[in-house]
Structure 1
Amino acid sequence: MNQTFTVTGMTCGHCEKAVTRAIRQLDPQAEVKIDLPSGKVEVQSQQPRDALTRAIAEEGYGVAA
């Protein structure tokens, strides 16, 4: 299932890696594409949206509804 999130607070490659790592800890098979300038995070995963949102938020980033 393809899901797109708008994530705030990502400013660099380290942020991108942190978000990717958080998602892959929840779902190691997840495909993650991040567009840093727009803050869009596209995730191909079977995990529920709220679980992915929580994983991103736990890294310290905001996730728009």
Structure 2
Amino acid sequence: MTDQTNSSSGSCCGSGGSCGSGTTTDVQDIGVTTVYKVSGMTCGHCEGAVSQEISALDGVTAVKAVAKTGEVTVTSASPLDEQAVRAAVDEAGYVLVGQA
């Protein structure tokens, strides 16, 4: 059996490699999802401010901030530099505690 859907994608799995269950394909299709803990968010306005700043980072495709839990879920094309995320959260007026 030959996988013809990604044969020219350059993926390690595209030519029948020994990769596991398609993790590389998942990253290419939906990106990398990271959950961060942010302190100081208390309302929808806070969520919007944090989301807006993080969304401006290169490669970010989706952001969901939840004030109630203090968690911000970020999907990006590749892993983000945590210092860049920290700077974006700081610009919004909040504090990045770290990854959840």
Tell me the number of residue pairs that the alignment of Structure 1 and Structure 2 aligns: 65
Structure 1 gap segments, 5+ residues each: none
Cα pair 2:48 2:65 within 8 Å, conserved? no
- Structure 1: 4+ residue segments shifted above 4 A: none
The one of the two structures with greater contact order (alpha-carbon pairs below 8 A, sep at least 6) is 1
Q: Does 7-16 or 48-57 show the bigger shift?
A: 48-57
Partner of 1:8: 39
Cα pair 1:30 1:44 within 8 Å, conserved? yes
Q: TM-score, normalised by structure 1?
A: 0.82
Pairwise CA RMSD: 1.6
Partner of 2:89: 56
Cα pair 1:12 1:36 within 8 Å, conserved? yes
Higher relative helix content: 1
Task: Find out whether 1:19 has 2:46 as its counterpart.
Answer: no
TM-superposed CA distance for 1:52, in Å, is 1.4
Q: TM-score, normalised by structure 2?
A: 0.57
- Residue identity (%): 38
Greater radius of gyration (CA): 2
Higher relative strand content: 1
